[in-house]
Every structure is written in C-alpha cells, then in structure tokens.
Structure 1
Amino acid sequence: MFNLPCFNENKVKFRKSDEKSHIRILHASPDAPAVDIYINDNLIYKGLSYKSFTEYMPLISMVYNIKVFPTGKKDVPLINKFFFIPPNSIYTIAATNFLKNIALFPILDKKLDNKNPNKAYVRFVHLSPNASKLDFYMNGKKIFNSIGYKNITNYSAVDPKNYTLNLKISNTENTILTSPNANLKADKYYTVYAVGLANGKPSLQVLIPLDGNSYIR
C-alpha cells in the first residue's frame, strides 16, 4: 500500500509538479520482516516485504526523518535516520544488512550528460551482506570487476537485448549466480541489485528494476 498524505508542513512535503526530487525505498535486508515506512512520522508505505520497492515519491529538497518499523508496530523503530534530499535528484534508499545491523543506504539514480539513446545503461550494486567481492558478467563478458558489499558501479552502455547475467567470486571462475532473460531496452537505465545470502536462505538473487532516471524528468 502506497499512501500519499495531504500536505502538512510538519509531515512529508510533496513537490510541486515542476520540481523533480524523488525517492523510493527498497527492502533488501534478508532476515528482516515486512516493514512500515514513515517519513516525518507520516505513514508512507505499509507492509513492504523483502525484495520489494515502493514507487518513487516526489519530495521537496530538505532534511527528512525516515523511520522503519515491523509491520503493524510502532514502539521501537528498526531504523531511525535523517536524510537530506538534494534538489533535482532521484534516489533509491535501500534497507540493508542483517536485521541486527539494519541500516538505510542511499543510491543516487544519476542521469548521464551524454547518453546514447540507442544504448541501454546498466550498473551493479552489491547488497548481499555475506557475499565476498563479486565480478559481474553479461553474456559471458565481464562488465564490472571486484565489487564489494555496498559498492555502486557507474552505468555502463550496452546493446539493448536479452542478457544472461552471471555473478562470480572476484577473480575466479566460481559462478555463484546465473540469471537468464534480462531484457534491457534502449534509452533506459537499469540497476542490478544483488540481494540475499551467498550461503544460506534466502538465497542470492538479482533484482533488475527500471531506474527512475529513465522516465522522471
């Protein structure tokens, strides 16, 4: 459930139509329960489950208090964090790490100045708390090398088509994940998020959402 509250200067401040800062929240903590998201003590999303994203939300540039609670509870927050949202920015904010050390991790969805409209753009974010450094492959070609936990690569331009994605332990031929049928389209931005556990449950997998910089103007 995504709730858009009415404007209140003591609650969330939503942007006017001609302004452009946006955030979404990703639940990437593998052992955390479904959560409720509050911004400035206003319920924004109820029951966000592991591997799920909220929609992008337009916001005024300012400092926000983000609290995360187990769904249906509001006594002790799992996370209580202040963030400054810069003007004209797009962020994915991930709830990361194991539950005992859960934290928010902001990821800027940056637009490129000289984007080729005939290419797709892909980057990799390592959010698996127990996986070592990883190499990222597309159709057998190494695209990103030795990416550690909470590292964010730059976007790389690739041909728009279907890809098989592979994650390997860095500088080895040890493939720990294969994900077929990643359909990347021209003139779009994608982030491949590695979530889950390298050895354990839930198992390692990738999420490949369309980034907001593809369509938010």
Structure 2
Amino acid sequence: MKITSLLLAVILAGGALLLSCEKNTFNLTTRTEVQNTARLKIGYFSPTVPNPAAQLKVNGERVSPNLVYNTPFPGGGLNTLGLNHSDYLSFTPGNLNFSFSIQKVGTSEDSVKLLEFSQQLDAKRYTLFVTDSFPNTTSVLVQDDVDRPTDSGKVRIKFVHLIPDAGPLDFYRDNVKIAGNVEYKQVTEYMDVFAGNVSYYVKLAGTNTTINVAAGNKINPVAGRIYTFFARGWKSRTTGTLMPNVSAMIVQ
C-alpha cells in the first residue's frame, strides 16, 4: 500500500490544519497524476452527537489523522472543514479493508468500531462518503471524473444525498432545479453548470420546502474544475453544525 508524500506531511503535522475555517475558495495548482494506482479521498460527514474524532485504517494501517464531522481528507471542500486542494490517498488496486473507529486515548488502537467493510478499488479515482450516526454509520463510494468541462466558464458537478432522515430531495442552483427526486445515498450523473458565487440548496422532492436552513450561504466553485456537491446533516436539526447544509468536495 502506498501513501503519497504530501499525505505523510499532513499526518506528521498532526492533522491540526484540517480544522481550519470554512471557506468557499481554493488555490489552483499543477499536480502530477499518479499512474496505475487507486486514488481515494474521504468525506467524513457522519452527523453524530457528540462529535467524536475517528481514525481510518486501510488493511489495518492507520492512514488518517483524527477526523470529525464535515471533514474531507486529504484535500478539501467548499463549506467544509479541511484544507483547500484536491489531493488523494494512493493505494495498490485490489480488495481493501476499511475501518473507521474511535481510538483509545493516546494510541491508534481501536476502542469503538464505527464502520468496517471491504471494497474493490481499481486504478481510478474515488471519493468515499461516510454518513449517518453510530451504530448506523454507512458509506457511499463515488467514482470521480477526471475530464474537465469544455466550456471555460463552467464547472462539472454531481450531487450526493447524505441526509439520513430526509426523503427524496430536489437539488437547486439559485432558483433552478438541476437534479430532482434524488434518494438517500443516491449519486447523480455529472452536469456542467456556470461557475460563480451562488446559492446551492435542497428541497423536499416535489415541494417548495427548503430543508437546508443555511440556503442563503453561497458556494463559489472555480471555473474549469470538478466537484461533488452533497447535502449533509439532519433534516430534524434547525440549529448548530448538524443542521442540513449543502457543501462540495474538490475533485480536481
């Protein structure tokens, strides 16, 4: 199993940088594509109360710092915690064992297993989203696109529904519905939309009921880039960090 040098630098830094302020922009950088590897990033969006820090092990080896709700790793997102770039973990393709756990204090030894499963990864790019709360913690594996939009003024996005207590959702960009009747844990196809600092929000499917109370919060994806947008939190929450919200993971 291989881990990129950038990832090692992040882990050695203790993961403190992951808990940065929320942001809607990121730096454009040139990155070298890693060949013949499975590339994976984690979206840790398990809305658990309290908000315990979790570690990720792959094939028994710890590969992450402590992760809390609303944290992409490695890399970052818009309207999330974490950093502001598009990095991935790198692994030898094959069947990998994934384990999310709360560790014993001061060690990497598992105390409470939150989620464990095996998954085949090919030499492609993926995002693994973690959602719902213990003991119902679950995941959604999304294959990421590598082809940028051909229109220089647009971004390429798809949408994932990660709110456990909400039924089907309609996904809006400003006042335009761009995906309809999306079921929990469902992933839409990619679509190209114009870049710009606009509101993204969700409504209960087929209704005019907006459930992310922070719908006025705007997200500013950068033209020419690729993102996975998602709805997170709990429909039943109206205040605090676990209320419904829309964010985006930076793919490329």
Same fold (TM over 0.5): yes
The question of 1:198 aligning with 2:217 is answered no
In structure 2, the residue matched to 1:181 is 218
TM normalised by structure 1 equals 0.83
TM normalised by structure 2 equals 0.73
> Per the alignment, in what secondary structure is the counterpart of residue 175 of structure 1?
coil
In structure 2, the residue matched to 1:70 is 102
The question of 1:107 aligning with 2:147 is answered no
Name the aligned partner's letter for residue 54 of structure 2: V
> Per the alignment, in what secondary structure is the counterpart of residue 99 of structure 1?
coil
**Aligned-partner Cα distance in 2 for 1:168–1:188:** 26
Aligned residues with identical type, % of pairs: 24
Instruction: Structure 2: give runs of 5+ residues left out of the alignment.
Output: 1-6, 12-32, 75-87
Match of 1:36 among 36, 55, 60: 55
**Post-superposition offset of 1:110:** 2.4
> Per the alignment, in what secondary structure is the counterpart of residue 172 of structure 2?
strand
In structure 1, the residue matched to 2:121 is 85
Name the aligned partner's letter for residue 97 of structure 1: D
Distance 1:18 1:122, change over 3 A: closer
**Aligned-partner Cα distance in 2 for 1:154–1:122:** 8
Q: Report if the CA contact (8 A) 2:172-2:200 is conserved.
A: yes
**Aligned-partner Cα distance in 2 for 1:101–1:61:** 28
**Post-superposition offset of 1:117:** 4.0
Count of residues in Structure 1 that have an aligned counterpart in Structure 2: 199
**Aligned-partner Cα distance in 1 for 2:187–2:66:** 27
**Aligned-partner Cα distance in 2 for 1:109–1:205:** 22
Distance 1:17 1:142, change over 3 A: closer
In structure 2, the residue matched to 1:21 is 38
Distance 1:65 1:141, change over 3 A: same
Distance 1:77 1:154, change over 3 A: same
Instruction: Structure 1: give runs of 5+ residues left out of the alignment.
Output: 6-15
Q: Report if the CA contact (8 A) 1:125-1:193 is conserved.
A: yes
Distance 1:17 1:184, change over 3 A: closer
Runs of 4+ in structure 1 deviating by more than 4 angstroms, as ranges, are 2-5
Name the aligned partner's letter for residue 67 of structure 2: L
1:146-167 C-alpha deviation (Å, 9 max, x unpaired): 1110011111111122211121
Q: How does 1:136-151 map to 2 (within 5 A)?
A: 136-151=171-186
**Post-superposition offset of 1:106:** 0.9
In structure 1, the residue matched to 2:129 is 94
Distance 1:17 1:125, change over 3 A: closer
**Aligned-partner Cα distance in 2 for 1:108–1:26:** 13
1:141-198 C-alpha deviation (Å, 9 max, x unpaired): 1101111100111111111222111211111111122143211222111111111100
Q: Report if the CA contact (8 A) 1:29-1:102 is conserved.
A: yes
CA RMSD of aligned residues (A): 2.1
**Post-superposition offset of 1:104:** 2.6
